[in-house]
Structure formats: structure tokens, C-alpha cells
Amino acid sequence: MEAPELIPNLFRTEYRKIVSVLYKRFGFDQVETAEDIAGDTFLTAAQTWPMRGVPPNPVAWLYNVAKNKAKNYLQRASTFNEKVSPEIQNASSELYETDIDLSPKNINDSQLQMMFAICHPSIPVEAQIGLSLRILCGFGIDEIASAFLSNKETINKRLYRAKEKLREEKVRIELPTPAQIDERVEPVLRTIYLLFNEGYYSLSQDQVLRKELCFEALRLCHMLIENKETNKPQVNALLALMCFHASRFDARFGKNGELILYDDQDTSLWDSDLISRGGYFLNCAATGDQLSKYHLEASIAYWNTQKEDTQEKWENVLQLYNQLLMIEYSPVAALNRTYALAKARSKEQAIIEAEQLKLENYPFYFSLLGELYAGIDNDSAKKNFQKAFVLAKNPADKQAIQKKIDKLE
Amino acid sequence: MDQYALIFRHEDGHKVASPEQIQVWMKQTMDWIGGIAAKNKFVSGTGLPFDGAKIVGHGGVVTDGPFGEIKETIGGLIVVKADSVDEAVEFAKGCPVLQGDGNTVEVRRIARNDGTH
């Protein structure tokens, strides 16, 4: 790979590692310093690689440069302090220990601790997610802004305020106590799932990037499982859920990047390795007495890996959606539950319930109604598909709906 | 929007259902509650198992209940959100408990706890 495309890729995978270690080393008091050093490291790469060529081991090169920059900074700070105030220097000699540990173990530990520090209860959820995308996943401000359907300025402000808050609250970069883990792990899981969805449902045509986002989420979740203290049933359930979804990644797009809906997918493209890994983690999740929404969603996702339309499948899916909605309502779950109702009971029964959902702002609501009316009242089916077509937000969705309309004629 | 308790009253707690019948009722109940939850109107709910139930009477007299003298028993309740008592009544009409002759669902508004009731 040439330098121009290599550097953004490395930025994606290595920035967060370097910045986590530096954050951990400097604390939230000096976040700007940590970010500057990590950013400078990539700037140096961008300036030297095109001229001198890409080094044989680019990652090691980046780590070395980051280490040296951090060391230089610390030495300067240390010298300054020695001259200005020797007492302070003595009292905090540890702070000026200049070694920067970029070993795989310290990178992992630092990232895990960062996850919990970022998802601290004192900062708003949206800011937690933004900070996670920035620091744990190396997202650019542009990408975060598009993930939140917001603009750069708003996101910058939000991240700035969140960092201020972390400083004010003196949040430590460490794992919560075992008693706090269950409560503190929830926002961490929500953020990981959001990251996954960002990749899975993104409208971006960049398949490689999208897949990378999904596997980043799997990686972060797996990191929680590898640590004894954070290896909780709901964490395993989330990983299972993401494995099941990710198994269809390659089947979801055609040769020209067009979206291929579940019913039309070539099951031979489903990744059976990921499906069995999902099964493994779902088993691991079946401990304790807590049934999280991730357990329910993972179980539903498991049934979706079984393409065959059986009564057993739809009965199970329906009951899982019933339970999921009791824990947490969402319009998507309400629509999917109604589809499962049609499959497990009858279209007629599902139509009665669907008409009461009042989700007229969702294109998928009308797609569902169209689907339910098809074969019963094709006129109504067509009218609903046409409403869905008008509401659909992107060409891929419009195309899929048009196919449904054509089938009716 | 107010909250309403829908309380399931069984006319005869003596009746013993087969495990298969109980499973059918469970599914029907879950479908009913799932339908309410799909409208974002479900708040909470619980079944009230009969086994181990006790009746504490005047003077602290404890009997095994709710069987015995008292025929009518409460089998469970759910709390829903509704714009009006009429909407809550519409939810109640779908309750599978009503398939049993003589069974009823009592609809009660939950006090708001804001001093207005």
C-alpha cells in the first residue's frame, strides 16, 4: 500500500491506541497534550513517508515517533519544573518518569480503562458516544458529525465540554469497582452497539470502511470479554448479536453496491464461522439471572441466521419481540414484532395491530403494511408501498420498494 | 397521559389448568401485552402465582389463600399508559383472562402522586 492510502488506514487503527496510552499516562488534565502528540506523530508520517518511502514496519515506526515526542515533551516539562520549582519535581517524580509503554498489554489495558472513563455517568450520553468514536475508534470530527446528523462545530463543542467535565470531575482512567461494573458497563455497550450500527446501516458506499467499523465494534466488545472483571453475560450477548448480524455482511450487497434484502440474499455468502462464534457467545451469555435486551436481540438475531420459514422460528421471534418491547420500546422493534405476528399467526391479525401503531413518519411502516396487504388486498398493498416510496430516504430503499410494487402488477 | 392498572380477576381460583393449557394462555398473554408494548403503552406488569399465597385476616389470622373461603382471586396485573379510561378499557378487552366465563379485568387509574389525584 502507498503512503497516501496507508496513513488514513493506520490512523484509524493506531491513533486510538497511541492516544489511549498517552491519555492514561498524562491524565485528563493534559488531554490536549496527548492528542497533540498523537496527531503530530501522524503528521510527521505524512510529511516524511512520501519522500523517504514507507518504513518496513510502519506501526513500530509510529510508536517510536510517538514515544520520542512524548519523551521530549516530558523532559522539557521536567527541566522547566526543575528550574522553576524543584520541590514539585521531587514530589511528583513519577509524573516525569519518561518511559511510554506501548506494549500490546498496556495498549489493551489503557483502552479498556478509557472505555469506562469516557462512559462516566457525569457526562451526557451523546457526548460519551462522541468521545468514544473519537478516542477509542479514531473517528474524525466529520465522521462523528455525520453519525449524529449534526455539524462539525456542534460536535467540537460537545467534545470540548465533555472533556472539561471529565477534568472537573477528576475522572480517573481506571476500571470501575466490581460492584459498579454492571451499571457502568451499560453505556459502554450502548456505544459499542451504536458504532456497529454505524458501520452496518451506513449509507456510505465505502464497503471496506463500513466493514472495519463493524469489526472495530466486535473488537472493543471482545476486549471487555477478555478481561475477567468485565466479562459479563450482557457483554457476551452483545457480541453474539453483532456476530450474527455481521455474518450477513457480504450477502447484503450486490456487485454494484446495491442493498440486497434478507429474503433475496444468497445464504452461501453468509459467514458460517461468525454464526458459530455468535452461538458460542450466546451460550456464554446464558448465565446469571439478568435478561438484558441484548440477550433478547441476540436470540432474535440467532433465529435470523435460520433462513427456513418454520412455525417454530416465528413463534420464538414473536415472543422475543414481545419481551424486548416490554423492556424497551422502539419503533423498529414494534414494526418487526408485527411482521413476526403475521408470520406466526396471520396477516389479518397483524394488519389490525399494524394499523394501530401510528408510525406514519417511518417509511418502513408503510412497507410493512404493503407487505401485509399483499395477497389479501393488492390495491391497499400498492397504495402503502407507494407511500413508503415517497418517504424512503435513499435510492437503495426506493429501488427495493419499487421491486415490491412491480411484483404486485 | 395517565397510567391505569388492569387487574385480572379470576372467578374461581380452584380450577386447575393443564400445563399445555397454561402454556397457551402464557403465549396469548404475551401476545396481548406485546401488542400494547408495540404501541409504547406498556409500563409494567406481573403475574401473581397462587402457590404459597396467604390471606392475613383481622386480628392477624393467617390462612392459606387465596383459596378456601374466598372464591374470586387476582391472577395478575399490568400497568399501561392511556390517553383516557376508554383507551385503557379497549386494552383490557383484549386480555385473554376474559375467555374464562365470569372472569373480569378491573381498570383503575393510578394516582398521580402530584397532589391532584
pLDDT in tens, B6-59: 999 988 766 667 888 888 988 999 999 999 999 999 999 998 887 788 888 889
Model ipTM value: 0.86
Q: B40 and A326 in contact by Cβ < 8 A? A: no
Q: For position A85, what pLDDT does the model report?
A: 58
Q: How far apart are CA A146 and CA A16, in angstroms?
A: 20
What residue type is A402 in one-letter code? Q
Q: Contact at 8 Å (CB) between B54 and B64?
A: yes
Q: For position A364, what pLDDT does the model report?
A: 87
Distances from the Cα of A205 to the Cα of A13, A201, A258, A402, angstroms: 20, 11, 9, 21
Residue B75, number of CB atoms within 10 A of its CB: 19
**Which helix (H) or strand (E) element contains residue B87?**
helix B85-93
Tell me the β-bridge partners of B26: none
**Residue B39 is nearest to which of A318, A323, A357, comparing CB atoms?**
A357
B117 pLDDT tier (thresholds 50, 70, 90)? low
Cα end-to-end span (Å), chain A: 50
Q: For position A11, what pLDDT does the model report?
A: 87
Q: Read out DSSP for A285-328?
A: H--SS---HHHHHHHHHHHHT--S--HHHHHHHHHHHHHHHHH-
pLDDT in tens, A15-56: 989 999 998 888 888 888 888 999 999 999 999 999 999 999
Q: For position A169, what pLDDT does the model report?
A: 86
CA distance A402 to chain B (A): 28
Q: B38 and A323 in contact by Cβ < 8 A? A: no
The residue among A188, A208, A190 whose CA lies nearest residue A199 is A208
Q: Write out chain A residues lying below 8 Å of B39, CB-based.
A: 334, 356-358
| CATH tag for A314-409 (out of 2.30.29.30, 1.25.40.10, 3.40.50.300, 3.40.50.720) | 1.25.40.10
Q: For position A183, what pLDDT does the model report?
A: 86
pLDDT in tens, B57-115: 889 988 876 665 556 788 899 999 999 999 999 999 999 999 988 899 999 999 987 76
Kindly give the parts of chain A with pLDDT less than 70. 1-3, 82-98, 146-149, 203-209
Q: How far apart are CA A140 and CA A380, in angstroms?
A: 46
Q: Which three cell numbers stand for residue A271?
A: 459467514
Domains of chain B: 2-109 (3.30.70.1060)
Q: Write out chain B residues lying below 8 Å of A329, CB-based.
A: 37-38, 40, 42
The residue among A259, A250, A244 whose CA lies nearest residue A204 is A259
Output the pTM of the full model: 0.82
Which regions of chain A carry the CATH code 1.25.40.10?
A: 314-409
- Peptide linkage before B66 cis (omega within 30 of 0): yes
Q: For position B11, what pLDDT does the model report?
A: 82
Taking the alpha carbons of A304, A305, A309, A312 in that order, is the dihedral positive or negative?
negative
CA distance B72 to chain A (A): 28
- Which positions ≥6 away from B11 have C-beta within 8 Å? B71, B72, B100, B101, B102, B103, B104
Q: Contact at 8 Å (CB) between B65 and B14?
A: no
Q: For position A327, what pLDDT does the model report?
A: 94
Q: Which three cell numbers stand for residue A159?
A: 467534545
Q: How far apart are CA A233 and CA A230, in angstroms?
A: 9
Tell me the β-bridge partners of B75: none
Cα end-to-end span (Å), chain B: 13
Q: Write out chain B residues lying below 8 Å of A326, CB-based.
A: 33-34, 37, 42, 45
Size of interface A-B (CB pairs under 8 A): 43
Q: How far apart are CA A47 and CA A168, in angstroms?
A: 37
Query: Hey, is B75 helix, strand or coil?
Result: strand
Residue A208, number of CB atoms within 10 A of its CB: 8
Strand residues in B1-117 grouped as ranges (E)? 2-10, 42-47, 54-56, 62-64, 73-82, 104-109
Q: How far apart are CA A218 and CA A226, in angstroms?
A: 12
